[in-house]
Chain A
Amino acid sequence: MSDKALPRRCSVGAQLGIGVKSAALYNPSNGKVENGKPGWIQAYDDELAMDLSRLRISSNRCMVDGLSRTVYTDEIMDDGYLVDDEDDEDSESEEHWREILLSRLSWESLSPVIPRNFQYFKEVELNREYMYDIKSKLTSGHDFVPGNLIADLSQSDLISSGQAGTQFKTKGATSYDPTVGPLFVTGEIQTIPDLRNNIQPHRIIVYSGGKANSVLNIAVAGGKRTNMDSVSFDQIESSCTVDMASAIKSIKISNLSGMLGRKGDLIGVMTESALHIIKIENISSRHEIKISSCEPLPFKQFGDFPFADFAFNPWDLRQFAVVDVKGNFGLGQLPKSLKAGGRCQLSKDNFGTIFDPEELSNWRRIEWSSSFTRLLVMDRSKLIELDFAHDWELEIVQAKTWSRLLDYHRVDDDYGILLTSREIIVVSTKQSNEHLTREISWKHDLNSEDTTLRLCVQTIKPGGNNLLLVCIFSRNHSQIYVHCFSLNDKETSIKLGGTPVLLQVPHVTAGLKDVCLYDRSVSDEVELSALESQPSIQLSMFINETENRTIWHYIVTSGDLPISQYEVGLNSKFTNSQVVCQKDQSYFPLNVPSLMTKVYQATTAITNPTKIAEPESEIFQTYGYQLSEAINKLLPTWIDSEKSLAELQSPVRHLAAVPNDIHNLSEFTSLLQQLSQHYTDQGLVFTSFKTVSSLLLREAAEDLDIFYNKLLQCWDLVTANSEALTRYVIRDVVMSSLHFWKPSLYSAVEEKLRDSLKGPYREIVDSWDEEDLTTAMTQESSATNESQLFQGSQSQIPTIKSSQTRSSKRTKRTAVGLTSGKVSKITHSQPLFNKETLAAPPLLSSTQQLPSTLPETMTPAFSLQSMASFSQSQSSQRSKRKKKVGGFG
């Protein structure tokens, strides 16, 4: 063991988590107490790494590719060819018909000239008079495909078991294919001509597309960032597409060992049926990509099961390894030159299996370990390191009990990152070590039952530090869990940096299928010094949602650069697919927070009641004045009937400031009633309380009190401040639903509209009108009768239940000799009523009238209902008495 490592337990390394400390090393003071601070070298270091909490995701995004893009392949055939073909057929058939016609016609000599618009069949007169008009033609250049089919196709790796055979879907029974790996990758490619000409590697992005997810797109990720001030999205320049003729399951770019000093030029594509290896031959200065490929390797050549994963040997450009869904693995050799007809050779000696009958999941991973003969083969419950040359295997990790292996990422020759359902583990695959060893782990605290967690690792170098950014994402939510590890300069030890952060991906509501990062920050030190700015990292992030197959491009940055509107999206080929997301508001309803603040305000207003200077009646009076003034002002504007009707009816609340605290609801009612009465003379109609309450309560209530009491029942359960809250709610509801209008205006417009109609329609309208008059009248009357009945029954049932026992008690009490004053005291102690409006005698009388209809043995209902009913029966009595207050002229 090297002398420089941190102290740790041999087998497990440093185990960290939130608030969990691990072994540290004491670095003593340097003899000078004044200067030398005692230092602890820990596995956990905040200062080294960058501040992750400064990471932000741009709210802008641009679409890389969607379903809508047409697939274009130059080798096979294009649309033009198809069109030509059809034309040919047309002219041929025309010729054919001409011949037939000529043979049938008796006057051959005339040689009739058939007009171009000749029709072979008798023209059929189609009835073009539809019962409705089609406003816009439903024509589109696309074929009709049922929506659910598209949805299924676009989530190709999702299998909803509810579909098979049964009609209804079982909730939460959606499964997915774990062998589907990354479908969007980026990597650096250095082709052979580039190597010869000493050209820097190109960054390319490779992704799957097409309707059936079978088309591979290869594009060069665009050039350098020009200025620091604006953050623009990369230009994705020309792209090259290849049709794989089978659904793509995984894409990988070969990543060569740093020892070779070059980048690879191979792309591996695993489809449902075969493994394709594609070589990038050349990338021109205009970013045109030339590719070549050998014959695909079908899985049948290897074994009975489809491939689950593959890997390129980082030390040998021509070697690769495959593993199938049951754990059979093998090595393969690429042909010397990748061209049509060349075949991959599977090694006859180097194969084996890690098959485990207890492991059900199809997920398998294969990756090279510390040297070119060593492989790591994984399934969900174990990790096996094996050496082909020396013929041994060792089960390094056995995860049968508390965790499962979820993902593995090879960082470089020295390190790899293993994601389990509990931890992120950095493993060391150094050649000096005998085996894979655990270096440092972080307990990530994400749900361990979520098997869809995936890893995305990016090396970044902000300000000379060497950091590993580890992102975990899941199909179940749209948060990305970001943590970083820092390697020191010589990459001899690895530490954990900072605390992790959660990044919420904007606009995404469902989960994330793929996340892909690459570093695009200015790393050149000369450039940095020229710009004289803090080193900030800036990453491009590509995200593939689970809901649809669109790939979105975001910018992640730690700098405080303004993330500007993207000017340059993609080049002309992609311009049609640029989409500005407009759906945000529907995703995140804006009114929820505002409601919350309202509730909060209301409650605070109650807890600190403001002293009311003037009595309530005066407030009402002033309010009434204000209101009537506003209405008077409004009315002249309504003279031009059409103009006024074009606008919306304004609710009453917009006219004058509604008083904040309304304690006396019945007075408020009477105020509004007087207002409406006053304006009825001027031909104005106000929405009546009946309409409001029948909308909300499904029964027509005359008075706000009833409404108030009903609401109070609900709020009382929730909060102690129910009364005030209810009043707020009532005020808001009533004021926003109260409208007024002038029927005379409508009649003029109605007349005009009626005149514009033609004969039969007018008749229909007229007949409607008549019917309306007669039946509506009867309906109305019956409705009111019914509603009264209904209201009566509705409101009385609870009354009876509760007040019956009360009243029976009361009668008993009176029999015993208690005074009625005590009873009224009891009711007063209930905080539901205003003392001034509630007088004891009417209450008593109203309740005492009721019990006669009831059996005495009935059990009491809960008291809240009884309160409501009390006031109901009461308020109907009171409403007439209480119209004295307020008034205006």
Chain B
Amino acid sequence: MFQFPITLTSKRVRNGRKLRYQYVNNLYQKYNKMEGITTNALPTPENSAAESSENEGALERKRNRIRRRLKSIAGESYSDSESDEELNDTGAQDDEEADQERSFFKKYEKPQESFEKWQTESRKRVPIRRTKVSFTKYQRMCKSAKRKMANALELASRHNRIYLQTVSEGLEMVEPVDGKPETYQMKHISVLNNLLHVQIYRGNWAAAYKCFALLIRIPEVDIRNVWGIGNQVLHAKESAKYLEFLEWMSNVYSSRTTYPEDINFRTAPVFTKGSRTHVPKFVTTWLWEALIQYTRESFEINGDYRPENDKLQELIDKISEMLLAPPYMEDSEIWFIYSLCHMVKADILSNKFDSHLVGSARDIASNQVIQHIQKTKSCLQTCITKDDFVYPKRHIERQLETFEDRLHIDDTDSKSMERDTDEMNEELDTQSIPSEYAYQSDLSGRSSST
């Protein structure tokens, strides 16, 4: 019922998949031929089929092997493509068939940010294809595609033949094609996984914790596939541990390699992996969770503010290390978190600011605040330049101004500042409790002042 934390593959499924991709590629070729479309940039199965001599295929295979070997020597984490490697090593014929799948995926960009490729740029607009596909045309394509793979179909198992027939008629299978565990271990994992999810949705954290603990001890299970669940479970059960867990995740699994787009098409990197251009989700989650947690803590300790156990400062140091030391992280979201860290810091310090201070002590205190405000601004500037992140700009600017105002006002006219925040809360249209609370307190404040 739920997504497995591992990829289930069996020979049957693999063969079925190969058949499907072969069919799809054949259809694609035929369609392009009929439409007179020539694809240029990317290597297509058409290209490879046009010059499909055995020599070529062998060369290609050899090249692949060399590349793989080089990569493994280079010491990059190569665990991602284990299944592919295994797939390729199963023999010459398998290799050729796997290429069908590969050549299918070669045509498409593999996004890292999301499971699908989302595109909203209006300059990519094209005119509507004002044609219609006719039955005869489609039938010709189907026939030719089926004819080409007659041999493969003969060799395929009955189950796969039925599968291809069904799929080619446009129908879909009721039961998941490769969702069925076929060994006892897989069965075990699947049961454990289902149990884990069910317990989470029921809020039964003790049981979920046990399931999670069991699950991650199975060697095949990659913790990167279930870290979110782990975070949730730890959050609910042992709230002290979840930040540690996330930090461990980001320390161990943060990868700064370039995204190997040509091999990796079995598992989505969206939530599980990172690369040079994609910060893994567990890192951002860790930073957000830590920031929110530390903000709460630093307001809880309230009166006695001790700089020596300032976790927020530690977090700021960590992020700056990530951003400013090689290999540089160039993610706008991290920059945004960094700026928010400074902002929270500025807020805390400006709140603590004692307006009765005089002389150099006052200067030092106000300088601290100003410094953090400046940092916030510069970080936001960097974030903006990355050009893929939006945030309510004016809202933050107003808040920064408020912080600065706190340094200059005396105790007597705190009203202006209140009005400011009030305005701001109205501006920011949210229903969150704090803003309502603030509104109420403001009301009471007004009534008392009148």
Contact = CB atoms under 8 A, between A and B. Distances in A.
Interface of A: 1, 3-12, 15, 17-33, 35-41, 45, 47-48, 53, 158-159, 161-162, 170, 172-178, 303-305, 325-328, 351-355, 357-358, 360-363, 386, 388, 391-403, 405, 420, 422-423, 434-438, 441, 443, 445-452, 474-477, 479, 488-490, 492-493, 499-502, 511
Given A159-B171, A400-B105, 16 more contacts: A3-B393, A4-B428, A11-B113, A11-B120, A15-B271, A29-B351, A159-B166, A305-B135, A328-B132, A352-B131, A355-B129, A361-B167, A362-B171, A394-B124, A398-B117, A449-B178
30 contacts: A4-B428, A4-B429, A5-B392, A9-B333, A10-B388, A11-B114, A15-B270, A15-B281, A18-B228, A23-B288, A26-B343, A26-B347, A27-B425, A31-B421, A32-B441, A36-B438, A178-B171, A354-B129, A357-B28, A360-B168, A362-B171, A393-B126, A394-B119, A401-B268, A423-B115, A434-B122, A446-B3, A447-B4, A452-B172, A501-B201
Nearest to B287: A21
B231 to A, nearest CB: 3
A30 B441 contact: yes
Contacts of A451: 172-173, 176
B300 to A, nearest CB: 10
A173 B270 contact: no
B335 to A, nearest CB: 11
A173 B114 contact: no
Contacts of A31: 351, 402, 406, 414, 417-418, 421
A488 B429 contact: yes
Interface string B155-181: 000110011011111111111111110
Given A392-B128, A393-B126, A11 B118 contact: yes
Contacts of B135: 304-305
Given A48-B431, A358-B24, A501-B201, A436 B120 contact: yes
For A3, A30, A394, the residue with the greatest tally of chain B CB atoms inside 10 Å of its CB is A30
Contacts of B1: 446-447, 450, 474, 476-477, 479
Contacts of A489: 431
Contacts of B129: 352-355, 393
A499 B159 CA distance: 40
Contacts of A32: 441
A446 B344 contact: no
A388 B128 CA distance: 8
Contact of B108 (A12, A397, A400): A400
Interface stretch (B74-82, B92-100, B215-223, B291-299): B291-299
Given A31-B417, A35-B441, A394-B126, A351 B132 contact: yes
Nearest to B21: A358
B307 interface: no
Given A45-B432, A402-B270, A449 B177 contact: yes
B388 to A, nearest CB: 5
Contacts of A511: 174
Contact of B389 (A7, A175, A178): A7
A394 B351 contact: no
Contacts of A353: 129, 131-133
A641 B242 CA distance: 74
B435 interface: yes
A19 B231 contact: yes
A64 B332 CA distance: 55
B436 to A, nearest CB: 10
A20 B285 contact: yes
Contacts of A445: 2-3, 197, 229
A520 B233 CA distance: 35
Contacts of B184: none
Nearest to A302: B132
B24 A396 contact: no
Contacts of A477: 1
Nearest to A363: B172
B27 A173 contact: no
B347 A19 contact: no
A26 B398 CA distance: 12
Contact of B133 (A162, A327, A391): A327
A500 B351 CA distance: 38
A40 B292 contact: yes
B325 interface: no
Contact of A161 (B30, B162, B231, B431): B162
Nearest to B352: A33
Contact of A20 (B3, B107, B228, B394): B228
Interface residues of B, number: 129
B395 interface: yes
A793 B267 CA distance: 58
Given A11-B113, A393-B128, A158 B174 contact: yes
Contacts of A12: 113-114, 118
Contact of B134 (A28, A304, A423): A304
A381 to B, nearest CB: 9
Given A7-B391, A489-B431, A19 B230 contact: yes
A402 B131 CA distance: 29
Contact of B28 (A47, A358, A396): A358
Contacts of B406: 31
A476 B173 CA distance: 11
The 4 lowest CB-CB distance pairs between A and B, nearest first, are A39-B434, A362-B170, A7-B391, A304-B135
A96 to B, nearest CB: 53
Contacts of A501: 201-202
Nearest to B27: A357
B24 A360 contact: yes
Contacts of B169: 362
Nearest to B228: A19
Interface in B181-222: 197-198, 200-203
Contact of B163 (A4, A173, A441): A173
A452 B132 contact: no
Given A11-B114, A360-B24, A403-B116, A20 B271 contact: yes
Given A3-B427, A4-B392, A303-B134, A176 B201 contact: no
A18 B199 CA distance: 13
Contacts of A21: 284-285, 288-289
B139 to A, nearest CB: 9
A448 B203 CA distance: 23
A22 B288 contact: yes
- Of B233, B268, B302, chain A has the most CB atoms within 10 Å of the CB of B268
Contacts of B382: none
A687 B389 CA distance: 82
Nearest to B190: A447
A464 to B, nearest CB: 10
Given A9-B113, A9-B389, A450 B288 contact: no
Contact of A3 (B122, B231, B395, B418): B395
Contact of A443 (B158, B168, B271): B271
Nearest to A500: B201
B391 A175 contact: no
A170 B125 contact: no
Contacts of A499: 200-201, 203
A420 B175 CA distance: 17
B326 interface: no
B158 A11 contact: no
Most buried by A among B168, B292, B402: B292
Contact of A358 (B104, B170, B267, B438): B104
B57 interface: no
A434 B201 contact: no
B359 interface: no
Contacts of A18: 200, 228-229, 232
Nearest to A449: B176
Contacts of B374: none
B173 A178 contact: no
A726 B6 CA distance: 39
A488 B115 contact: no
Contacts of B31: 357
A39 B433 contact: yes
